[in-house]
Structure 1
Amino acid sequence: MTMPIVAVVGRPNVGKSTFVNRIAQVDDAIVHEMRGVTRDRSYHNADWNGLEFKLVDTGGIEMGDDDAFQGSIRSQAFAGANEADAIVFLVDGRTGINADDEEVARILRKTNKPVFLVVNKLDHPGRSDEMWEFYQLGLGDPWPISALHGHGTGDLLDELVAVLRTVELPAGADEEEGINVAIIGRPNAGKSSLTNQLTSGERSIVSDVAGTTRDAIDTHVVHDGVPYTIVDTAGLRRKSQIDQDVEYYGFVRAMRAIDRADVALLVIDGTLGMTNEDQRVAGYAHERGCAMVIVLNKWDAVDGPERKAQIRERIADRMTFVGYAPVIAISALTGKNVHRIWEAVDAAYASYSKTIPTSALNGWLAQIRESGHTVSQGKAILRMKYVTQTASCPPRFTFFVNRPDLVTDNFERFLENRMRQQFDLTGTPIELRFKKKD
């Protein structure tokens, strides 16, 4: 359903992500003492006293700092505040006010939205003497809390929810998650650029610095009447190459996003061609059983048809274990051919959730039996008697046979290939199981 939105803003390291995790009762937002860990804005569901609302975790705002990311982080933070129905402005009760706090307060005083000035890291409740300096920010009474221990958060939420109940939400259809699409790939392949193209806005920060995205970021969109949840994930590489615990947390969030995905968009940097890392990331999605579309990004920067043919040939050769995944060449930067991704995602999801009638499956099995193709060991011959679909998302098929131990990997691949020829299962893995039937 449509829910009110609460943006959490403040300078770096005041405890925004800890606060979000406390209120949402999850550990989705990455918490770390290093500044700049949160960059994009991320959304988290929460509820209090029967009211559900969305919390927006934003990057730390530093008004005078213009490093490689700070301008975009500021934009993302203020974008979160602009779309919110209420704003929680978090400050650090231990260090007191600084120039960035004063500048953010100046901007927030101009908004017509309710602003809650929340003084965090006050781990000993009742110390009112620590609160007086925060009145000079001009945002009313400050709320003392400890996001780490939970002190004061209940009183704050009572007042926040009372304000949210007065908010008039836009009329419209209830929000649906729809098809869950995870955008995965190694660092700097163009995942965030593709996310922004698919969501029609600068939803994720884009930079040529590898590792820009750290959290998994959900965006709900509707395209041609179909709802989708697009999840931009941190770049995936082998765990032995992860040298920061922040990057490790990003890796874990990305793997969780794959776990709940219906369809994974594997983004490959076309200018580099397919690498071992791309193959490994494909393996992550394949092992978790989600449908897949391979996206060759930066295709407009690949020189000549011969080089393009080589890249496609290498993908076909090295990605046989996900040979069911269609390959689409695009440019996320310019938007060229991005529209083709929607059709591919829809087709992959249709295959992923498909249910094939038992009569059709056994008609196909009769043709296999008539062809005489089977396996044997000595005098023992595999006889397949019956097949039925026992699951979907992804599809699973159970064969009842006289000797399951006779089934070889080659014969299983043969059955899968013949099944894919007979039934349209483009984009999805399938699982074949064999049970004994006398």
Structure 2
Amino acid sequence: MPLPTVAIIGRPNVGKSTLFNRLVGKKLALVDDQPGVTRDRREADAHLLGLDFRIIDTAGFENEDIATLPGRMRAQTQAALDEADVALFLVDARDGLTPIDEEIARWLRVADVPVILAANKAEGRLAQSSIYEAMSLGFDDPIALSAEHGEGIADLFDALRPYIERLEQEIEEEDPEDPDAILKLAVVGRPNAGKSTLINRILNQERLITGPEAGITRDSIAIDWVWTDAENKDRRVRLIDTAGMRKRAKVQEKLEKLSVADALRAVDFAEVVVLLLDATKGLEVQDLKIADKVLQEGRALVIALNKWDVAENASSLFNGVKGALDEGLAQVKGVPLLTVSGATGKGLDVLLRVAFETRAAWSRRTSTGALNRWFEKAIEANPPPAPGGKRIKPRYITQNKTRPPTFVLFGTRVDLLPESYRRYLVNSMRKEFDMGAVPVRLMLRASSNPFDHDK
């Protein structure tokens, strides 16, 4: 059974994301004194004194037209409330009640969800009068909290416990190399490449806020979903939307720096990363830098040209991008390049199928016997050089890790192998074992035996 879900509701800047981070135990949500930092709803597993539940951080509730960005943020808050088993209504004990607090209270009173009222920033005596004032909102007595300092957490536990303990918890251990395990799939790219629109189309719902304004997404948002493939098999996916990554020189605002850092953490968390390009703008240097970062982190990479439905000179565009990728990503040839449209849904099933196939190659383990049979043939076909007249003698190779595939080559003076020969071995191994374009790491271990004097 699923974990019970708690949604944090409140006006902007009352400390919702700070409380979210406190309950999750990590700084997942961006926090800043500027109101309106959180725009999409964000979910994570929370742990509170032995209670396990799903927590949703929401955008600040504002009374704006749905066509505006604040209005679309409010729609996301409504969607979070629809999913929740409990609403945690947060007010600011320093500022006292505001008309927006009272409007939220009226909204929550008619919702079919139990409400726990909490007054945040309640440290110090000055907050006491605001806590008493919050009793007028028509809920049970407010819990006095300080999300920043961790005060009042025991009282929050007592309030949440009856709801959390209603559902029986199941803990499922997954083998990370199991082909049926949940696929952690991150979507990255420059601002306005259409990442959130693409994910909304995959989910077939307006799960993420989209619009013409650049930089709407700030947090990395993870969404669990089930995709039914062409064989009618359900495949679990964790989709991760990320903030757009501009050139470092253009990233000036503190919030954007935090957003980019958050996107890079999402890459670390993911198994497969989709780099989304805007087909109306083609490939830029920043795209290659993002792709290189993904590969350096050892993640499997898929590149998708989005907005293909409005691309001009499609054939020449595709061939031009493919050629530039082969030249710009010399360390990994043949990264999958697909065409998709977040607006029409074109190519999305192919994208997901390729993502699962790429993860399988990224997770594959090759037996030592098969490796060394290939290794002997590769060495015989192209013997290593002898720098300074001293022979390099590779002895054997083994795979010590997957995800990404990592191999260790043992022998005499193998640490002197030139980079060109290492590339030869990696490329030959890719071809022999059908590894595709996933990153492959080759480590060299030269003999430390003082009696080993092979010439």
User: Structure 2 vs 1, CA of residues 242 and 126 (structure 1 numbering), >3 Å: closer, same or farther?
Assistant: closer
Counterpart in the other structure of 1:249 = 258
3-state SS in 1 of match to 2:395: strand
3-state SS in 2 of match to 1:43: strand
- Determine if the alignment matches structure 1 residue 222 to structure 2 residue 226: yes
Counterpart in the other structure of 1:113 = 113
- Determine if the alignment matches structure 1 residue 294 to structure 2 residue 298: no
Counterpart in the other structure of 1:153 = 153
Partner of residue 204 from structure 1, selected from 200, 203, 208: 208
1:234-313 alignment, distance < 5 Å: 234-304=243-313, 305-313=315-323
AA partner of residue 82 (structure 1): D
8 Å Cα contact 1:86/1:164 also seen in 2: no
Any idea what the Cα deviations from partners look like across 1:321-363, whole Å, max 9, x if unmatched? Answer: 3324211111112110111111111111111110011111111
- In structure 1, the gaps of 5 or more residues are none
Counterpart in the other structure of 2:417 = 407
3-state SS in 2 of match to 1:231: strand
When structure 1 is superposed on structure 2, of 189-198 and 7-16 the one drifting more is: 189-198
Q: Percent identity?
A: 36
Distance 2:141 2:92 in 1: 15
AA partner of residue 94 (structure 2): R
AA partner of residue 346 (structure 1): F
8 Å Cα contact 2:224/2:239 also seen in 1: yes
- Determine if the alignment matches structure 1 residue 376 to structure 2 residue 390: no
- Determine if the alignment matches structure 1 residue 180 to structure 2 residue 184: yes
8 Å Cα contact 2:3/2:167 also seen in 1: no
Any idea what the Cα deviations from partners look like across 1:372-407, whole Å, max 9, x if unmatched? Answer: 442122422333221111111111111222221431
When structure 1 is superposed on structure 2, of 298-307 and 282-291 the one drifting more is: 298-307
When structure 1 is superposed on structure 2, of 151-160 and 289-298 the one drifting more is: 151-160
- Determine if the alignment matches structure 1 residue 94 to structure 2 residue 94: yes
Counterpart in the other structure of 2:325 = 315
Counterpart in the other structure of 1:423 = 433
User: Structure 2 vs 1, CA of residues 296 and 322 (structure 1 numbering), >3 Å: closer, same or farther?
Assistant: farther
3-state SS in 2 of match to 1:320: coil
Partner of residue 327 from structure 1, selected from 334, 337, 344: 337
User: CA offset at residue 174 of structure 1?
Assistant: 5.2
User: Structure 2 vs 1, CA of residues 377 and 49 (structure 1 numbering), >3 Å: closer, same or farther?
Assistant: closer
When structure 1 is superposed on structure 2, of 235-244 and 2-11 the one drifting more is: 235-244
User: Structure 2 vs 1, CA of residues 369 and 131 (structure 1 numbering), >3 Å: closer, same or farther?
Assistant: closer
User: Structure 2 vs 1, CA of residues 166 and 370 (structure 1 numbering), >3 Å: closer, same or farther?
Assistant: closer
AA partner of residue 206 (structure 1): T
User: CA offset at residue 173 of structure 1?
Assistant: 9.6
Counterpart in the other structure of 2:442 = 432
1:318-397 alignment, distance < 5 Å: 318-397=328-407
4+ residue runs over 6 A deviation: none
User: Structure 2 vs 1, CA of residues 126 and 158 (structure 1 numbering), >3 Å: closer, same or farther?
Assistant: farther
User: Structure 2 vs 1, CA of residues 243 and 188 (structure 1 numbering), >3 Å: closer, same or farther?
Assistant: same
User: CA offset at residue 45 of structure 1?
Assistant: 1.7
8 Å Cα contact 2:277/2:306 also seen in 1: yes
User: Structure 2 vs 1, CA of residues 394 and 308 (structure 1 numbering), >3 Å: closer, same or farther?
Assistant: closer
3-state SS in 2 of match to 1:149: coil
When structure 1 is superposed on structure 2, of 26-35 and 378-387 the one drifting more is: 378-387
Distance 2:13 2:65 in 1: 15
Indicate the RMSD between aligned Cα atoms, in angstroms.
2.2
AA partner of residue 204 (structure 2): S
8 Å Cα contact 2:17/2:29 also seen in 1: yes
8 Å Cα contact 2:275/2:291 also seen in 1: yes
Could you state the TM-score of these two structures normalised by the residue count of structure 2? Answer: 0.90
User: Structure 2 vs 1, CA of residues 222 and 175 (structure 1 numbering), >3 Å: closer, same or farther?
Assistant: farther
Counterpart in the other structure of 1:232 = 241
Distance 1:116 1:91 in 2: 11
Could you state the TM-score of these two structures normalised by the residue count of structure 1? Answer: 0.93
Distance 2:301 2:165 in 1: 41
8 Å Cα contact 2:25/2:47 also seen in 1: no
User: Structure 2 vs 1, CA of residues 434 and 173 (structure 1 numbering), >3 Å: closer, same or farther?
Assistant: closer
Distance 1:318 1:49 in 2: 50
3-state SS in 1 of match to 2:331: helix
When structure 1 is superposed on structure 2, of 129-138 and 186-195 the one drifting more is: 129-138
User: CA offset at residue 229 of structure 1?
Assistant: 1.5
**Equivalences, count:** 436
Distance 1:130 1:149 in 2: 19
Distance 1:426 1:125 in 2: 63
User: Structure 2 vs 1, CA of residues 401 and 137 (structure 1 numbering), >3 Å: closer, same or farther?
Assistant: same
Distance 1:188 1:408 in 2: 41
Distance 2:345 2:29 in 1: 30
AA partner of residue 292 (structure 2): G
AA partner of residue 29 (structure 2): A
AA partner of residue 148 (structure 2): L
- In structure 2, the gaps of 5 or more residues are 175-180, 228-232
- Determine if the alignment matches structure 1 residue 16 to structure 2 residue 26: no
3-state SS in 2 of match to 1:381: coil
When structure 1 is superposed on structure 2, of 385-394 and 21-30 the one drifting more is: 21-30
AA partner of residue 159 (structure 2): E
User: CA offset at residue 167 of structure 1?
Assistant: 4.9
